[in-house]
C-alpha cells in the first residue's frame, strides 16, 4: 500500500502540475494580452506625441508669423504717424499761404478801388481842364483821356 500512497502523491503532484500549467498558460495569455494593450497604448501615445509635436510646431510657426505681422503693423503705424505729421505740416503751410493770399487779394481789391477812384478823379480833372481851356482858349499838350487801367478803356 505504499505504492497506493505514492501513487496518490504522484497523482496529486500531477494534478498540481496540471493546475500550475493551466495557471501558467492563463498568465502567459494575460501577459500576451497586456503586452498587446501596452503596444496599442504605446502606439496611441506615439501618435499623440506626434500630433503634439505637430501642434507645437504649428504654434511656433503661428507665433513667428504673429510676431512678423506685429512688427510690420508697428512699422506701418510709425510710417502712418510720420505721414500724418507731414500732412499736418503741409496743412500749416497751406493755411499760411491761404492767409497770405487773402491779404494779397484784399490788397489787389484795395488797389483796384484806388485806381478806379484815381481814374474817376482824372476824368473829372480832365473835364475841368477842358472847361477851363475853353474859358482861357488854351489847349493842353497831353491827352488826359487815355487811362491806363482796364476799367476805363
14-38 average pLDDT score = 95
4-8, 26-30, 132-136 — which is least confidently predicted?
132-136
Query: How confident is the model at residue 150, as a pLDDT?
Result: 53
Indicate the Cα dihedral angle 36, 40, 42, 46, nearest 10°: 150
> For 54-87, how does the pLDDT look when each residue is reduced to its tens digit (9 = 90+)?
999 999 999 999 999 999 999 999 999 999 999 9
Whether the Cβ atoms of residue 105 and residue 138 lie closer than 8 Å to each other: no
* Mean pLDDT, range 140-150, rounded to an integer: 51
Examine the pLDDT at 3 and tell me if it is beyond 60: yes
Percentage of the chain lying above the pLDDT 70 cut: 88
Mean pLDDT throughout 83-105? Answer: 96
pLDDT band for position 129 (cuts 50, 70, 90): confident
The conformation of residue 152, written as its DSSP 8-state character, comes to: T
pTM over 0.75: no
Q: Is the pLDDT of residue 44 over 90?
A: yes
pLDDT band at 151 (very low <50, low <70, confident <90, very high): low
**What pLDDT score was predicted for residue 145?**
54
- In sequence order, the 6+-apart residues with CB closer than 8 A to the CB of 133 are 139, 140
What is the distance between the alpha carbons of residues 31 and 146, in angstroms, rounded to a whole number? 130
What nine digits make up the cell of 35? 503586452
Place 134 in a pLDDT band, splitting at 50, 70 and 90: confident
Amino acid at each position: 500500500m505504499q505504492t497506493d500512497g505514492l501513487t496518490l502523491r504522484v497523482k496529486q503532484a500531477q494534478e498540481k502540475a496540471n493546475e500550475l500549467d493551466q495557471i501558467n498558460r492563463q498568465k502567459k495569455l494575460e501577459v500576451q494580452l497586456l503586452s498587446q494593450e501596452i503596444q496599442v497604448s504605446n502606439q496611441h501615445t506615439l501618435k499623440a506625441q506626434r500630433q503634439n509635436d505637430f501642434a507645437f510646431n504649428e504654434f511656433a510657426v503661428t507665433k513667428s508669423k504673429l510676431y512678423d505681422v506685429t512688427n510690420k503693423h508697428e512699422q506701418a503705424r510709425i510710417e502712418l504717424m510720420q505721414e500724418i505729421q507731414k500732412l499736418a505740416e503741409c496743412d500749416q503751410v497751406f493755411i499760411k499761404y491761404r492767409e497770405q493770399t487773402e491779404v494779397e487779394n484784399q490788397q489787389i481789391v484795395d488797389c483796384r478801388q484806388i485806381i478806379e477812384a484815381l481814374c474817376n478823379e482824372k476824368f473829372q480833372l480832365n473835364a475841368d481842364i477842358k472847361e477851363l481851356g475853353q474859358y482861357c482858349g488854351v489847349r493842353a499838350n497831353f491827352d488826359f483821356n487815355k487811362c491806363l487801367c482796364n476799367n476805363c478803356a
